[in-house]
Amino acid sequence: MALRDIFKFRDLPESETSKPFLEHLEDLRWTIVKIAVTLGVAMIACFAFRSVLVRVMQAPLRDVGSQIGTLKALGITD
């Protein structure tokens, strides 16, 4: 029994393995377009709900109260 017979379930159909290079590039292009659109929609949604998101992220600090202190922004890199 050869090792190839053991892993035969991993073999793809011939139509999946013999794509030309340009078809692979086309698949890559569409994948990048989908990622860019998804990222854009997520950024717009986050911008639209920014005040709600900030309140959600600051809730644990408010729950602790004045035991720790206040949230301070010291500069751009903080």
Q: Could you read off the pLDDT of 25-78 as tens digits, one per residue?
A: 999 999 999 999 999 999 999 999 999 999 998 888 788 776 766 667 788 876
51 domain residue, yes or no: yes
Contact 70, 63 (CB under 8 A): no
Rg of the chain taking only CA atoms, in angstroms: 25
Number of domains, the chain: 1
Q: How many CA atoms lie within 13 A of 74 on its CB side?
A: 3
Contact 59, 46 (CB under 8 A): no
54 domain residue, yes or no: yes
Q: Which amino acid is at 53?
A: L
Q: How far is the C-alpha of 63 from the C-alpha of 56, rounded, in Å? A: 11
Range of the domain at 48: 22-64
8 domain residue, yes or no: no
71 domain residue, yes or no: no
Token pair in block for residue 40: 């854009």
14 domain residue, yes or no: no
